[in-house]
Homo-oligomer: A and B are copies of this chain.
Amino acid sequence: MSGGEQQVLDRIERARRRKPVVREELITLAHGSGGKATQTLVEAVFLEAFRNPLLATLDDGATLPLGSARAAFTTDSYVVSPLFFPGGDIGDLAVNGTVNDLAMCGARPRYLSAGFILEEGFPVADLRRVVASMAAAATAAGVEIVTGDTKVVQRGRADGCYITTTGVGVIERPGTLSASAARPGDAVLVSGPIGAHGAAIMLARGDFGIEAPITSDTAPLHDVVAGLLDALPGQVRTLRDATRGGVATVLNEVAVASGVSVVLEEAAIPVRTEVTGVCELLGLDPLYVACEGRFVAVVDGAHAQSALDALRAHPLGAEAAIIGAVAAEPEALVLLRTAIGGTRVVEILVGDPLPRIC
C-alpha cells in the first residue's frame, strides 16, 4: 500500500470514529445537495434527535411492520426550479421520485400523499398543469394519491409551488434491501445512461446560453425493479436511485454503510454524448449529476449477467450496464479505474453545483 493510500485510510478511520458535527452556524445550499453536508446534517441533527432503529439505516425509506404485512414508507420534498422542464415537471417528478424510493425498498408502490406549499400569486393554470401531470404519473405507476394538504404562503415566501409526496408500498418478497448489504465479489450495475435529469434542468434554467437536445430521465422504476427482483430472488443486495449527488454519492453511501470498496470502470459507465458535452462545458462530472429515472443495483457477482439481462428486458433498462464490482478493501471508498488506466478516489459530493435539481 502506498503512503497516499494509507493517508486515505487513516482519514476514513478518523471520520468513522468522529461524531458528525455541523460546523456551520447557518444552513447553506450544500445542506440540501444530497452530498456530504446533507449527510452530516442528517446524522448530527436528525438522527441524533430521532434515534430509532428504522431511521438509523438511512435507506431511501423505512420498512414498517403493520399487522402481518410489511410496508415501505418514504417521503421527499420537491423544490425543483424551474417547475416545468424538458421531459417533465415538478408534478411527475414528485410522483416518480416517491414511487422510485418505494421501489428501491423492494416494495410495490400503492398509496401516495401530496402536501402542497403554494406561493400567493401562483397561477391556478400552472397548478392544474402540475396536478394533471401528477395524476398521469400516478396512473402510469399504478398508485393512488389518497390524501393531501394545501398551504399558501405570502409572495416571496416560496417559489411558486413546492410539493412533498409520501408513499406507502407493500413489500411482498422476503429479505431486506439495504445500502449496508453489499459484499465483496458483488457486481454493480446501473439501469441506463446517467446525468440526463440534472443536465436538462441546468439547460432549462437558461443561465448558460447552451442548447442541447436533453430531456429529463424522470420515470417510474418499480416495474424494471420488479423484473430484476423476480429474475434474481435473494441475490439483489442494494438498490438506490441515483438522484441528488448522482451515482458517485449513492455508491459512497453503499461503500460506507457496507464497509466495502466499490471499484468502477469509467469506460463502462453509460453517459449520453449530449450529457457528456454539457457537463464538460459546465465543468461537471456526470458521476455527480442527478438522475430521476436511473438506479444503481448491487447484486451477487455470480448473477451479474442475469441481472443485466433482466434490466435490459425492460424499456427503462435497455441501456443498462455492469459498471463495477465490490471489493473488501480499501474499506468505505469508491475508486474509479479511468479510461486511460489510472485509478482515482471518487469522493462523496462536496458543496452543491446544482441546487434545487429536484
Contact = CB atoms under 8 A, between A and B. Distances in A.
Interface of A: 22, 24-32, 38, 41-42, 45-46, 49-50, 52, 54-55, 61-62, 64, 66-69, 71, 73-79, 110-111, 113-125, 127-128, 131-132, 134-135, 138, 144-154, 156-159, 162, 164, 166, 168, 170, 355-356
Contact of A149 (B26, B67, B76, B110): B76
A157 B356 CA distance: 11
B132 A49 contact: yes
A42 B55 CA distance: 32
Nearest to A97: B149
Contacts of A49: 128, 131-132, 134-135
Nearest to A126: B27
Nearest to A51: B135
Given A45-B127, A67-B67, A153-B159, 9 more contacts: A27-B122, A42-B148, A45-B124, A46-B150, A75-B113, A75-B147, A75-B166, A79-B151, A153-B356
Contacts of A38: 150
A275 B15 CA distance: 53
A49 B156 CA distance: 28
Contact of A64 (B110, B148, B153): B110
Contacts of A151: 32, 77-79, 356
Contacts of A119: 27
Contact of A120 (B27, B41, B67, B134): B27
Contact of A166 (B159, B162, B166): B166
A114 B61 CA distance: 12
A156 B134 CA distance: 27
B71 A168 contact: yes
Contact of A55 (B30, B52, B148, B166): B148
A144 B55 contact: yes
A120 B38 CA distance: 13
A165 B152 CA distance: 16
Given A26-B123, A77-B151, A146 B68 contact: no
A170 B121 contact: no
Nearest to A72: B147
A138 B29 CA distance: 28
A115 B145 contact: no
A4 to B, nearest CB: 34
Contact of A28 (B120, B135, B146): B120
